[in-house]
């Protein structure tokens, strides 16, 4: 699972729908793999405004990456800075979680990730 996707995932438990503490899910004991994906600057520019930057920062640190700048790059920054474009491409699209779990900071539910597939099936009483 791509780091980008983790930036969009929230806890699926009913009681967590109304609280902001259920985002982002916190990666725990995660193994990472790196996949080579063709750069797609138009896609990144499209996605950037939707990325939750503070959450991305905490996810990056939890996965062992250096911390990000406090503010997201503007579209103009991104366009003029090929290194930043390449770094974001690597972090968001090429870095993938293959094993581990994602933990809700609100209810503590652990979503297991196996072979890159996160398991979001819930017992009925939590839905």
Residue among 41, 55, 122 at smallest CA distance from 88: 41
Helix (H), strand (E) at residue 3: helix 3-6
Which residue, 82 or 119, is less far from another protein as judged by CB? 119
> At its nearest, how many Å lie between another protein and the CB of residue 77?
20
Residue 120 CA, distance from chain mean position = 15
**78 interacts with, out of Zn ion, another protein, none, CB within 5 to 8 A per kind:** none
26 binds another protein per the rule CB under 8 A: no
User: b or e along 18-57 (b: 16 or more beta carbons within 10 Å of the residue's beta carbon)?
Assistant: eeeebbbbebeebeeeeeeeeeeeeebeebbeebeeeebb
46 is a contact residue toward another protein (CB under 8 A): yes
Positions in the binding site for another protein (CB under 8 A): 1-2, 4-5, 8-12, 23, 37-38, 40, 42-43, 46-47, 50, 52, 93, 115-122, 124, 127
Positions in the binding site for Zn ion (CB under 5 A): 11, 13, 16, 22, 104, 106-107, 109
């Amino acid at each position: 699972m791509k780091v980008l996707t983790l930036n969009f995932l929230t806890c699926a438990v009913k009681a967590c729908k109304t609280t902001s503490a259920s985002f982002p899910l916190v990666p725990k004991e995660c193994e990472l793999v790196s996949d080579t994906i063709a750069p797609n600057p138009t896609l990144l520019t499209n996605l950037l405004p939707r990325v939750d930057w503070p959450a991305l920062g905490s996810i990056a640190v939890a996965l062992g990456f250096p911390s990000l700048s406090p503010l997201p790059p503007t579209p103009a920054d991104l366009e003029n800075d090929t290194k930043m474009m390449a770094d974001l491409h690597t972090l968001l699209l090429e870095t993938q979680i293959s094993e581990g779990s994602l933990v809700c900071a609100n209810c503590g539910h652990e979503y297991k990730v196996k072979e890159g597939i996160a398991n979001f099936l819930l017992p009925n009483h939590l839905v």
